[in-house]
């Protein structure tokens, strides 16, 4: 049971440490191997790691598959950033939740 709780808390922790920040297409450095989320004009969202970009196209890779996006079809570009506030809040929230769950368990088991 402890291993399951530990595994679930780690998966939640590492999933929530990142957020996406909107950036200007022209300021993106192509040599950085960052993860992006691109919102297209038609509402289609594409996530992936930047492979290359130029004035006409942006190429993202997701699970080994390159995805070519025309710059004219891009509505918004977001870059994945580490969020320290989400990380600290999540860790604090896990401690509070664990404490409340332990108290509830003890009170239900009849421990004075």
What is the reported pLDDT for 7? Answer: 66
Residue 90 lies in a domain: yes
Write out the H or E segment, with its range, that includes residue 17: none
pLDDT at 85: 65
Give a yes or no: residue 25 inside a domain.
yes
User: How many domains, in total, are found in the chain?
Assistant: 1
- pLDDT per residue over 76-92, tens digit each? 888 877 666 666 666 67
Q: Could you read off the pLDDT of 62-77 as tens digits, one per residue?
A: 888 988 888 888 888 8
pTM: 0.56
Residue numbers of the domain that contains 55: 16-108
What tokens were used for 106? 């003890």
CATH at residue 74: 2.30.30.100
What is the residue whose two structure tokens read 């993106």?
28
């Amino acid at each position: 049971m402890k291993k399951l709780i530990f595994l679930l808390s780690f998966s939640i922790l590492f999933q929530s440490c990142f957020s996406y920040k909107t950036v200007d297409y022209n300021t993106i450095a192509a040599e950085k191997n960052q993860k992006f989320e691109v919102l297209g004009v038609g509402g289609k969202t594409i996530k992936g790691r930047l492979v290359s970009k130029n004035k006409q196209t942006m190429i993202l890779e997701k699970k080994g598959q390159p995805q070519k996006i025309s710059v004219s079809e891009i509505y918004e570009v977001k870059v994945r950033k580490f969020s320290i506030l989400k990380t600290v809040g999540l860790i604090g929230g896990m401690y509070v939740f664990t404490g409340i769950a332990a108290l509830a368990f003890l009170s239900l088991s009849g421990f004075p």
